[in-house]
Structure 1
Amino acid sequence: MKFLVISNLSLTLIMSGIIWFVQLIHYPLFSKTNSNNFHSFHSEHTKRTTWLVAPLMIAEALICTILFIKMPTITTSIGLSILFLIWTCTFFVQLPIHNKLNKEFNTKLVHKLIKSNWIRTISWTVRAATCFVLI
């Protein structure tokens, strides 16, 4: 059980760090990119980010789910619910914006991406706090 709790915390802290970097540094730089090379920049961003983040998110979801099954408490329930919110926001808010940006640069979409990403940033931060409670 200790392995699951530590793995859960570790993966969540890694994702929290990544999302804060993306929120405060990476996404704001989108609007500083030349619109002529934005498509190539964004395509490369998507490939590299997916390569890093997808395995971490999948591992986090698996560990979080197993932890909830083996230890169904309020804290693990909250953690799993927050993770569900993060995934929902990722696939139904962030991904569609990225798909539109991949077709054409649009400053309003970049601002929408940054603004809507606060949901994931705050959610991963709160999730990290819930993971600490389990220790």
Structure 2
Amino acid sequence: MTLIANLIFDTATLVLIWAVQLAIYPALTYYGHENLRIWHRSYTKRITLVVLPLMFGQLGFTVLAVLGAASFIAVTKLVLIILVWILTFTIFVPLHNRIEESTAMESRSIASNLVSKNWWRTLLWTLVFILSAYQIFIHG
């Protein structure tokens, strides 16, 4: 059951991160400064309601999988998820916070930074999903 829950959360974070990478973050570069700040305030509150439960669920079920059977795949997934958390709270949360305080010139640069740096989280969460799918459909 833990592996199925893992796959559900890993799939959800995969879909979310690719939507963010291909649609949401690039769209930020098209907003004018004031409209970006207005929309961003609303966006961050709403997206947090989606992202945090997914991140906590993914982390929780992965920890359970490691505690249940500390396989190489489970431990690797946990390391990748911890890296996502580190990136999120050391790079992305501060970048989002800077949008609120930015000037017109800075806001466009910050939005571009979100797009370029988010490839790391996109890659990590894609790898987590691949490992989860492998663990269920091929390995187990």
Match of residue 100, structure 1, among 98, 101, 123: 98
Identity %: 27
- Deviation per residue, 1:42-87 (Å, 9 max, x gap): 0011001001111111111110001111010110011000001100
Could you tell me how far 1:36 is from its partner in structure 2?
2.0
The amino acid across from 2:93 in the alignment is L
Match of residue 31, structure 2, among 21, 30, 33: 33
Q: What is the DSSP-based 3-state SS (H/G/I as helix, E as strand, rest coil) of the residue aligned with 1:134?
A: helix
Structure 2: unaligned runs, 5 residues or longer: none
The amino acid across from 1:121 in the alignment is T
Q: What TM-score results when the alignment is normalised by the length of structure 1?
A: 0.95
The amino acid across from 2:123 in the alignment is I
Q: What is the DSSP-based 3-state SS (H/G/I as helix, E as strand, rest coil) of the residue aligned with 1:33?
A: coil
The amino acid across from 1:76 in the alignment is A
- Work out the CA distance in 2 between the residues paired with 1:113 and 1:37: 17
- Work out the CA distance in 1 between the residues paired with 2:97 and 2:34: 17
Alignment correspondent of 1:68: 66
The amino acid across from 2:131 in the alignment is T
Match of residue 10, structure 2, among 6, 12, 23: 12
Q: What TM-score results when the alignment is normalised by the length of structure 2?
A: 0.92
The amino acid across from 1:98 in the alignment is H
Detail structure 1 runs of 4+ shifted over 3 Å in the superposition.
none
Alignment correspondent of 2:134: 133
Provide the aligned length of Structure 1 versus Structure 2.
Answer: 133
- Work out the CA distance in 2 between the residues paired with 1:50 and 1:14: 14
The amino acid across from 1:20 in the alignment is W
